[in-house]
Chains A and B, each alone.
Chain A
């Protein structure tokens, strides 16, 4: 179970969000909704453990993730608009470096298999600097394939479908459905209403602001 217990984040004088309480569907699909600048990305990064929480807790299995970071990060894969791909490496090398960074062993076969999942295998030796935005996004999303091998429980996705063409969106939708069927949890922000048909839990940051404004 993943819970947000009165989480507050502020930057200097400005409050990004305060006293956020929510229980997330685990397993299940969770959508973070809100206007631009409402703190969607910040919330996602907070759950990932990048941003220290000033007050409140993110609780997973009755434990605060801040104090069990090593356990927590093993269970998540985070993909955002920056992709985390080096321009000077090929798609394949980037994926390999990422696997090694996670502390997971990589074999050529496994990586190729993963690339196939998003129809990326023919681009495996292309430098990222030569890739279009859509291809970069796909190269970043290919990482999600490894959840099945390494027991990843959470996907944290920030606008994952940006730049994807229709064919890849279909493939990606299939990945989402698969992961949910295997009891995975997805937490994402997206503007794309057609990305999933599954039942989902909504965390509406605007609603939170309105409530507080009263």
Chain B
């Protein structure tokens, strides 16, 4: 009996340690990130200066910039975790990538939506083919591709390796795509418009921005942990059901 499940146990061993560690981290992460985000929102919305060109619209930055940063950073983390999975074949790495992807995708959507909200007062339209927004849109499709591919197989496990390769291909290609989109943008530069990175950052803007950045990062870490733990429990249930079925057999 022990022998048969030595593998399952073997790989649950590390996840158990993972659960223990994260059980301790969970509450502090949630509380610190909530406090930081609330503080950041307060400073950002009420206690920071308006931009001399953009007025109050600049306050969208406090959500937009951290989301954009996280969307990019999470894709990098996704690719790194995929490398771990492909090279060391650690099942936990696959669970982590699977947990990062939807969160990263949501942040890229958030970036696009806030970007579009920011664009309305600045440019007068909801969408302008700005180089950064365009790159973010493409990044979103990479997230989408990863999620769709990893779920496109009869057995989930069959898709994980291919999807991991996709994430790595994505991270190799993103700089090329980013470069080409920037190139395309300068090629077709429309009449001078306000750039998104236009406003020079005031010192008083820096505080809420930092608070939001760190708060968002910690909060997404919290979400990832919850996600991984849920998936671990799912796996455990599957293993248990399998065990029960086998017992009935014999």
Identify B250's interface contact among A15, A18, A54, A213, CB under 8 A.
A213
Interface check B56, CB cutoff 8 A: no
Question: Which residues 14-49 of A have a CB within 8 angstroms of B?
Answer: 14-15, 18-19
Question: Which residues 207-250 of B have a CB within 8 angstroms of A?
Answer: 235, 238-239, 242, 246, 250
Main secondary structure of the interface of B (DSSP, over half): helix
Interface check B157, CB cutoff 8 A: yes
Known: A11-B157, A12-B157, A54-B89. Contact between A19 and B3, CB under 8 A?
Answer: yes
Interface check B8, CB cutoff 8 A: yes
The reply to whether A14 and B156 contact each other, CB–CB distance below 8 Å, is no
Contacts of A14 in B (CB 8 A): 242
Interface check B52, CB cutoff 8 A: no
Q: How many residues does chain B have at the interface if contact means C-beta atoms less than 8 Å apart? A: 18
Q: B1-21 interface mask toward A, CB cutoff 8 Å, 1 = contact, 0 = none?
A: 101111110000000000000
The reply to whether B235 and A18 contact each other, CB–CB distance below 8 Å, is no
Interface check A166, CB cutoff 8 A: no
Q: How far is the CA of A42 from the CA of B156 in the complex (A)?
A: 18
Interface check A61, CB cutoff 8 A: no
Separation in Å of the A89 CB from the closest CB of chain B? 28
Which residue, B3, B4, B235, B239, has most C-beta atoms of chain A within 10 A? B4
Interface check A10, CB cutoff 8 A: yes
Q: What bracket does the count of chain A residues touching chain B fall in?
A: 10 to 19
Interface check B203, CB cutoff 8 A: no
Separation in Å of the A177 CB from the closest CB of chain B? 39
Closest 4 CB pairs of A and B: A12-B157, A212-B4, A213-B250, A13-B239
Write the residues of chain B forming the contact surface with A, with a CB cutoff of 8 angstroms: 1, 3-8, 89, 91, 155-157, 235, 238-239, 242, 246, 250
* 29 A-B residue pairs with CB within 8 Å: A8-B7, A10-B8, A11-B155, A11-B157, A12-B91, A12-B156, A12-B157, A13-B8, A13-B235, A13-B238, A13-B239, A13-B242, A14-B242, A15-B4, A15-B5, A15-B7, A15-B8, A18-B3, A18-B4, A18-B7, A55-B7, A210-B250, A212-B1, A212-B3, A212-B4, A213-B1, A213-B4, A213-B246, A213-B250
